[in-house]
A = this chain, B = another copy of it.
Amino acid sequence: MEEYIKKAKVLIEALPYIQKFASKTFVIKFGGSIASDNGLKESFIKDVILLKLIGINIIIVHGGGKEIDGLLKRLNIGINFHEGYRLTDEHTMEVVEMVLSGKINKDLVALINKFGGRACGLSGKDGNLITARKIKTEKIELGFVGEVKRVDKKILLALDPSFIPVIAPVSMDEEGNTLNINADLVASAVASELEAEKLIILSDQDGLLDSGGKLISSVKTADIKDLIGKGVIYGGMIPKANSCADAVKSGVKKVHIINGSVLHAILLEIFTKKGIGTQISN
């Protein structure tokens, strides 16, 4: 009995957080190594279903780099990147879309449904959710690589609140080309359009790290420029910090970068005072 009462107390401890976030919107970027670990994936799915049940509107955006590479290899299609962008010709694009919209997306949907949730898979094409445009770089032709031009949230509103939308980061530009978009960009654009309470990015690191490799627990958007100037935020952390700051400036209340390889990472981040990763807010 003692054991049970202790558990009940844990539930009660969560009460103030549940009260705080009920009927708010969280956009979660799912990706990285968590995607290929079934235990982590299942714990993630259960976290999401729990959050949905206590009244939080959850939207998931996923990536899928590893599985794309796998199928490209099996089909003997070359894999090339330029400054983080996948060089994407027509054949590559076809594979990217099949893997993202036809495999990873449907797997996540199936898993959520299996544990009692009600998910609906979408790509940026469905209901014109995302209108993309090609990214132009000076030196090199990236091919069918896009960024978000416009988000039409109509289909998200139609599905809410019964369903959990799961979004694959593929969409069309206005000429009808299918484009591959970075999942972080899609998650950030959707969160901004919905003026989400939180954008949570599951990463393979603990969050933003300072020059000494230590986790930065919390940072204000106004201080980021200064921290970059001082070299505290440096290197590969700079674009991450900037893109999170952009999301906050576009209307997201708080951005969280957390380590997806921690069991129940999302619950820990949301249901504890300090959280486990980095929080960026105004």
With an 8 A cutoff between CB atoms, is A260 at the interface? no
Closest-CB distance, A206 to chain B (whole angstroms)? 11
A46 neighbours in B (Cβ, 8 Å): 12, 15
With an 8 A cutoff between CB atoms, is A140 at the interface? no
Closest-CB distance, A154 to chain B (whole angstroms)? 7
- Docked CA distance A271–B115 (Å): 17
* Interface core residue of A71, A110, A154, A155 (most chain B CB under 10 Å): A110
Also in contact, A126 and B155, with CB within 8 A (given A10-B10, A11-B271, A97-B103): no
**Chain A 18-61 against B: per-residue CB contact (8 Å), 1 yes, 0 no?**
11001000000000000000000001001101100111000000
Q: Are B55 and A268 in contact (CB under 8 A)?
A: no
Closest-CB distance, A152 to chain B (whole angstroms)? 9
Also in contact, A116 and B1, with CB within 8 A (given A103-B97, A163-B155): no
Q: Which residue of B lies closest to A7 (CB)?
A: B10
- Docked CA distance A54–B12 (Å): 12
A268 neighbours in B (Cβ, 8 Å): 1, 4-5, 8
Also in contact, A53 and B101, with CB within 8 A (given A109-B125, A109-B126, A114-B176): no
Q: Which residue of B lies closest to A22 (CB)?
A: B53
With an 8 A cutoff between CB atoms, is A119 at the interface? yes
With an 8 A cutoff between CB atoms, is A113 at the interface? yes
With an 8 A cutoff between CB atoms, is A255 at the interface? no
A227 neighbours in B (Cβ, 8 Å): none
With an 8 A cutoff between CB atoms, is A78 at the interface? no
With an 8 A cutoff between CB atoms, is A262 at the interface? yes
Q: Are B18 and A50 in contact (CB under 8 A)?
A: yes
**Chain A 100-112 against B: per-residue CB contact (8 Å), 1 yes, 0 no?**
1111011001100
- Using A158-B159, A158-B163 as known contacts, list a sample of 18 further A-B pairs with CB atoms less than 8 Å apart, ordered by residue number in A: A1-B268, A7-B271, A12-B50, A12-B267, A15-B53, A19-B116, A22-B53, A71-B98, A97-B106, A98-B102, A101-B101, A101-B106, A106-B123, A113-B125, A118-B127, A120-B122, A127-B162, A154-B162
- Sorted nearest first, the 3 A-B pairs with minimum C-beta distance are A102-B102, A8-B264, A98-B102
The residues of A with any CB-CB pair to B shorter than 8 Å are 1, 4-5, 7-16, 18-19, 22, 43, 46-47, 49-50, 53-55, 71, 74-75, 94, 97-103, 105-106, 109-110, 113-116, 118-123, 125-128, 154-155, 158-159, 162-163, 170, 172, 176, 178, 262-264, 267-268, 271-272, 276
28 contacts between A and B (CB under 8 A): A5-B263, A7-B13, A8-B47, A8-B263, A8-B264, A8-B267, A8-B268, A9-B264, A10-B10, A12-B47, A12-B50, A15-B53, A18-B50, A18-B53, A19-B53, A53-B54, A97-B102, A97-B106, A98-B98, A101-B101, A101-B105, A106-B125, A109-B125, A121-B123, A127-B162, A154-B162, A158-B158, A159-B159
